[in-house]
Copies of this chain bind each other. A is one copy, B any other.
Amino acid sequence: MIDKKLRIVPLGGLGEVGKNMMVYEYGENILLVDAGLMFPENDMLGVDYIIPDFQYLRDKTQWVRGIVITHGHEDHTGAIQHVLELINAPIYATPLTRGLVENKLSRGGMLSKAQLVTVQAGDTVQIGPFSVEFFHVCHSIPDGVGLGIHTPAGLVIHSGDYKFDHTPVDNWPTDYARLAELSEKGVLALLADSTNSDRPGWTPSERVIDPAFQEVFRKAKGRIIVASFASLISRMQQVGNAAIQHRRKMAFVGASMVENAKIARKLGYLDLPEDLVISLEQALKLPHHEVVLMSTGTQGEPSSIMGRLSTGTNRQFDIIPGDTVILSSHPIPGNEESVYRTVNRLFRRGATVIYENIAPVHVSGHASQEEMKLLLHLVRPKYFIPIHGELRHLYQHANIARQVGMDDEHIAVIENGQVIEFDQGQMRLGKRVPGGYIFVEGSSVGDIGPSVVREREALARDGFVLVSLSLDRNDYSLLEEPDIVTRGFTFPRNGDDLVSSLGKMVKDTLQVDPFASQEELEQAIKTFLHNKTKRRPMVFVTISRV
């Protein structure tokens, strides 16, 4: 007998619950919402990116009726090729989101495998037993949607990433009317974005950036370089508008910035006159006061354009005194050090650098506390499940729900892999399933586990020492001086002494016990080095008996 409860399962997303993927399951039918990736934290050494652990879906792949992508950001789209390796189901997305997903899939050679379906905000699409209404939401990328998911067990609202911007750059506010309509039908559960639940008040409108840009464009005597996220199409529009007013030409720099601008212009999400946009090569030939460059690299990664500009290692152009750099972005948590290091270096090269702390050149794309209250009042759900945030954000979002009158019994703060079940209009916690994440590194998916990362930590802390010994096969005497190689470990200032005394210690050990095993020698060397240096490098001994 098929169990006809509605099940909801958040998957993946590092500390952030349901950020990368949500599973909606009714009987033998699954609707997936989003398929994103996360970037590793500072201590996840060597990892390229992280995707949800799909184990829960592995024996249910044939139940998946569709994949809905709410908007075009990496943390909602970036794992799509990994999902398609497992699951064959249509992907539903609005035009811009579809364009960005197509671009990603075609770069990975996966476009032919994908079955893409364009939807418009306002559409209702039947996906298995789920009738999904797409409603427009404002976010830091255009064409984002939230979902009204009609299921046999009741209506669920999935907010997606959203803010309530009354004056968005594309003049397309969040669809309050549709939310109110859905509310009229009676909402079983609301799942809503918690990213900014610890920010009081109301997230400023994207429009507040315009006066700050005006001020910078008015004062700048040389080139202006605006660094932003390649997905921030509205920011491109704002820079373009300022460029027109201040008689500058605009060039995009960085592959993803160029590609996304092209897709957004083609699909009509970015309205820039033909004669405004020029190539970087053309821009570099113009007088400095006639140019604005719009570039990627806001996170200070050494290999990014801003990173290279800050160290004077960029290929096509350099920072010159008189340049004004605007970082129209916010450091992703964990990147603060590298972002500010880049800012300092840009100053050192003679640029004037304007960043968030100096002037309002960036705003968040996520709702703050008052917007969260408004959403709760608009939707009036029976149950509330905060998602898209770390546990601390979910608890704070739950507090906000309490403030607007919900009680603890109707709020569930859950972690990835925690199944929520709805049966006869009642919510309860189900079992926990694997809901974590797996590391992707080079061409390897999921092979790198915590033990390897711990080995890397040890190597990163103290390096290693490799001692190769050649012994006489008959009398076990040492035939040559021990060969000592180190990486990531240095001998102290009077280092030659320590190398030779390490060599001597090994020789002495072998004299006393010619049969000393590899493990015994390694242990003796570890102890010796720790006594001498207070450090604990990995130690390897190879012995060949010749």
Contact = CB atoms under 8 A, between A and B. Distances in A.
Interface of A: 15, 41-43, 45-46, 198-199, 333-334, 336-338, 340-341, 343-344, 347-348, 352-353, 355, 357-358, 390-392, 395-396, 415, 441-444, 446-449, 452, 455-464, 466, 468, 470, 473, 483, 485, 487-493, 495, 532-535, 538, 540, 542, 544-546
A465 to B, nearest CB: 12
B344 A391 contact: yes
Nearest to A333: B336
B460 A199 contact: no
B447 A459 contact: no
A460 B456 contact: yes
B466 A344 contact: no
Contact of A488 (B42, B46, B390): B46
Contacts of A442: 533-535
Give the most central of A355, A458, A460, A538: most B CB within 10 Å: A460
B353 A538 contact: no
A415 B464 CA distance: 35
B15 A341 contact: yes
Q: How many copies does the complex hold?
A: 2
Nearest to A457: B460
Contacts of A538: 487
Q: Specify the main secondary structure of chain A where it touches its partner.
A: mixed
16 contacts: A41-B337, A43-B337, A45-B488, A46-B463, A334-B337, A340-B390, A347-B395, A352-B395, A442-B534, A443-B532, A447-B490, A449-B490, A452-B489, A456-B461, A459-B488, A466-B542
A489 B489 CA distance: 19
A461 B45 contact: yes
A391 B466 contact: no
Contact of A459 (B341, B460, B485, B532): B460
B337 A42 contact: yes
Given A456-B459, A488-B459, A392 B542 contact: no
Contacts of A41: 337, 341
A278 B214 CA distance: 60
B489 A444 contact: no
B444 A492 contact: yes
A238 to B, nearest CB: 22
Given A41-B337, A459-B460, A464-B487, A447 B544 contact: no
A342 to B, nearest CB: 10
Contacts of A532: 443
B493 A199 contact: no
Nearest to A198: B357
Contacts of A487: 455, 458-459, 464, 538
Contacts of A45: 460-461, 488
A458 B46 CA distance: 9
A358 B198 contact: yes
Give the most central of A198, A334, A392, A489: most B CB within 10 Å: A392
Given A347-B395, A352-B395, 11 more contacts: A15-B340, A42-B42, A340-B390, A344-B391, A348-B391, A449-B490, A455-B463, A466-B540, A470-B544, A485-B540, A546-B546
A372 to B, nearest CB: 14
Q: Considering the complex of A and B, which 9 residue pairs feature the smallest CB-CB distances, nearest first?
A: A544-B544, A442-B534, A460-B460, A198-B357, A459-B459, A456-B488, A344-B391, A46-B461, A45-B460
A544 B466 CA distance: 15
A336 B487 CA distance: 30
Nearest to A487: B455
Contacts of A488: 45-46, 452, 455-456, 459
Contact of A463 (B459, B470, B473, B495): B459
Given A337-B41, A540-B485, A535 B455 contact: no
A163 to B, nearest CB: 18
Nearest to A462: B46
Contacts of A464: 459, 464, 487
A443 B533 contact: yes
A463 B468 contact: no
Contact of A46 (B447, B460, B542): B460
B495 A343 contact: no
Give the most central of A333, A464, A466, A546: most B CB within 10 Å: A464
Contacts of A415: 348
Given A340-B390, A396-B358, A489-B452, A444 B46 contact: no
A347 B198 contact: no
Given A46-B462, A448-B490, A392 B456 contact: no
